[in-house]
Amino acid sequence: MKSKKLSEKIIKIFKKNGFVLSEPDVILDSEYIIQRSGENFKRTMVTFENEDGKIMCLRPDLTVASCIKYIEKKSKSKIYYSGKAFRRNNNKSSDLFNDQLGIEILGSKNQSKDDFKVIKTILDSAEKIRRKKIQVKIGDISLFKRLINSLDMPERWKLRLIRHFWRPKYFEELLKRLEKNSDIDSVTFDVDKKRFYEMKKMESDKNIAGRSISEILNRFDKKIKDPRSFSDGKRIAKIIRSFLKINCKLSKLDEKLLNFIKKNNLKSNIFKEIKSIQNLKKLKQEVNFITNFGRDIEYYTGIVFEIFSGKKEIARGGRYDDLLKSLGAKKNIPAVGAAINLNNIF
């Protein structure tokens, strides 16, 4: 009864902020998700074979399920949901499912305004159910991408570092290779080259993981022609490591970034126009900004956040501007959302 009353309070806040109910499908095509969203869900999916022999899964993520419904034109653009996400976990004591209440703005038209709207709505909800002091952790994946693209190194290195940022262990291996000015895995390079010539024989307008063959070929062409080793790797790796150590109160972030730029002799405009982050200074809660934060979910592209009550994470979310295209939309559709984990509240 208590949990139902708390859920009703949260939903009331969602509705007050203009979000309308959407109920994403529980059962999804597992191959569709794996092919279009990458392998990150595969190991955690709860799958089964239907009567036609097709491999299906229980939705592993309510954001992905909501995006699929939106693409099929079965939902509004500003939605809330209530339901379960089903994911296997290495921790045997963890639940197979998470009860969630979440919100999404699909087709976000004003990034800084919508980012703030989502975080503020979730924080207002957290205030209604808090037992201990509310704390907020913030990161922004786009800052890392801006830094990498500003550094003087081969395009192939830039693409790989950005692509594998969400895999900390492998990313660290890449940095070690970079420090030693060693070639990016020659085996991988040969595989890429083989795929390039295979894909040249395919129809250019065919789509794979949300991108046309012609887009993929252009990227491969850059990687193959680009020099694969250079002499300044140690300095570049040091700059990247230094950036990933930034951890401060949001109020100190401008000063930290300015000092980082000066110390490493970087272009002064790398981190200009970070309105979404600046906007968050209006929040009354204590906010920590961590550059190395939000790397555990591959589809985030911008601001990411977690909300804690004491030591328990009660909500998380972020911006994911590329996800809808990877799931089948004809073009990138800006989007941002977040979910409250009810398992950590009741």
The residues pairing with 139 across neighbouring beta strands, listed in sequence order, are 304
114 closest CA partner among 255, 235, 276: 276
**Parts of the chain with a pLDDT under 70:** 1-2, 36-41, 90-95, 130-131, 182-194, 196, 203-211, 219-231, 346
pLDDT at residue 288 in the model: 94
For the stretch 88-93, contacts whose Cβ atoms lie closer than 8 Å and that sit 24 or more positions apart, written own/partner, are: 88/43, 88/44, 88/45, 88/46, 89/44
The CA distance from 341 to 46, in Å, is: 19
pLDDT at position 81:
96
pLDDT at 285: 86
Q: Domains in the chain, please, with CATH?
A: 2-142+265-344 (3.30.930.10), 152-245 (no CATH)
Confidence at residue 1, expressed as pLDDT on a 0 to 100 scale: 46
State the pLDDT at residue 21. Answer: 96
Residue that the structure tokens 């934060």 belong to:
293
Residue 173, token pair as written in the block = 């291996």
Query: Vertex 62, ends 27 and 32: CA angle to 5°?
Result: 50
- Assigned token pair, 207: 């789509």
- Residue 216: per-residue pLDDT: 72
Q: How far is it, in rounded angstroms, from Cα 181 to Cα 278? A: 37
Q: Is 61 helix (H, G, I), strand (E, B) or coil?
A: coil
- pTM equals 0.82
pLDDT of residue 95: 63
Determine the pLDDT at residue 98: 82
